[in-house]
Amino acid sequence: MPLTLLYRPALLGLLLTSTLTLADDTERGYDPSATHPDPTNGAIVLMDGRLSRPADATAAQWPAGKHLAGRHFKAGSGWWALACQDTCTLTATQLSLRHLKHPTYDGPSMPGQYLSWSPLPYQLDQPDAATAGNTVLLALFKPKPAQVALKLASGPVKTWLHQGMDAYPVSQKKGTGSETVRIKLDKGSATIVPVLADEPERHGETNQPTESQLELRAYGRKQNLGEVTFGIDGGMPLLAKSYLHWAGDLDGDGRLDLLLDHDQARGKLVLYLSSLAQAGELVGEAGAFNYIAPDDPGC
């Protein structure tokens, strides 16, 4: 039977319009089909608190936010901001989105989103807000109700250590300069100890490893929290304030929760909650943010 092509004028018009739009976008260096990996993972959608404004002059008056490649996020409520001055606070906030093409290192621009949140604590969403020197926005996050149940409320959050502090109580490991941090809890204490791998990668004359393991010790038990990379070319001590961003009780169970950076070169933020710990664990991974921009040269 011969193949017969049937079409309707309206359908043909739609196809022609789509083809012309695609051609126009391609000529402008914009690939609508381009994708970028989702930088978030876990039961909680997590972002670090490093906000900035786009370099594009037309966006100079936009609120501070995050320019991410891809189109993975939806505007709306359910977000929380964790920020600290002398103490730390949670603030319920909403996400707003703008479509903004993202540059790549050696190719055409790709689809992107500009994310901003409002309100933010300490008026951090205001363009000309004057904030104290120790003010720090640590994280923005949104729990997925189907995967984790958290009873959160705006206001102070139990905190033992946070990155806005002048210093942490630490001890240095002889020979490496890496710092063990001690966290004084309401009952007892905890420590996070950088432990070198058995066969670390070594670089040049420094003979220093570029990867370590973070070991949490609390409540008479230990847990390996996995690798942390510190420095692209090695030879750098692992400082406590660079890997521990926050230690407190976010889930309200009276036990230690942590916000840690596992990649000192580019940043891999991970939120650990005691309420998600599996058998034999002290904490369980609740969410992670691991983003490398497509215009990053990779060196």
Tokens 């640590």 appear where?
138
Token couple for 165? 């502090």
Q: How would residue 62 be classed by pLDDT, with cut points 50, 70 and 90?
A: confident
195 close to 226: Cβ distance less than 8 angstroms: no
pLDDT one-digit tens code per residue, 131-180: 667 899 999 999 999 999 999 999 999 999 999 999 999 999 776 778 99
pLDDT at 47 over 90: yes
> What is the enclosing helix (H) or strand (E) of 11?
helix 9-27
pLDDT at 13 over 60: no
Residue type, 257: D
Residue scoring higher pLDDT (3 or 297): 297
Q: Which residues lie across from 248 on neighbouring strands?
A: 159, 257
At 271 the pLDDT is 98
> What is the enclosing helix (H) or strand (E) of 240?
helix 240-243
| Average pLDDT, integer, range 77-97 | 96
Q: What whole-number percentage of the chain has pLDDT above 70? A: 78
* Parallel, antiparallel or unpaired: strands 88-99 and 66-69: unpaired
At 1 the pLDDT is 38
pLDDT one-digit tens code per residue, 278-295: 999 999 999 999 999 999
> pTM, whole model, 2 decimals?
0.83
142 close to 82: Cβ distance less than 8 angstroms: no
HEC secondary structure over 74-116: CCEEEEEEEEECCCEEEEEEEEEEEECCECCCCCCEECEEEEE
pLDDT at 7 over 50: no
At 211 the pLDDT is 60
At 190 the pLDDT is 98
Query: What is the CA angle 269-141-187, rounded to 5?
Result: 75
Supply φ then ψ for residue 277, to 5 degrees.
-65, 140
| CB atoms inside a 10 Å sphere around CB 288 | 19
pLDDT at 230 over 70: no
Q: How would residue 104 be classed by pLDDT, with cut points 50, 70 and 90?
A: very high
Whole-angstrom Cα distance, residue 53 to residue 63?
A: 7
Q: How would residue 3 be classed by pLDDT, with cut points 50, 70 and 90?
A: very low
Q: What whole-number percentage of the chain has pLDDT above 90? A: 61
Q: Is 112 helix (H, G, I), strand (E, B) or coil?
A: strand
Residue scoring higher pLDDT (230 or 253): 253
pLDDT at 90 over 50: yes
Q: How would residue 34 be classed by pLDDT, with cut points 50, 70 and 90?
A: low
Query: How far are the Cα atoms of 36, 190, 295 from residue 29, in angstroms, in the given order?
Result: 16, 52, 14
Nearest alpha carbon to residue 284 among 239, 243, 251:
251
Tokens 């409002």 appear where?
118
pLDDT at 15 over 60: no
Supply φ then ψ for residue 10, to 5 degrees.
-65, -40
At 162 the pLDDT is 97
Maximum average pLDDT range among 30-39, 154-163, 221-230? 154-163
217 close to 224: Cβ distance less than 8 angstroms: no
Token couple for 247? 């230690």
Mean pLDDT, all residues of the chain: 83
At 205 the pLDDT is 47
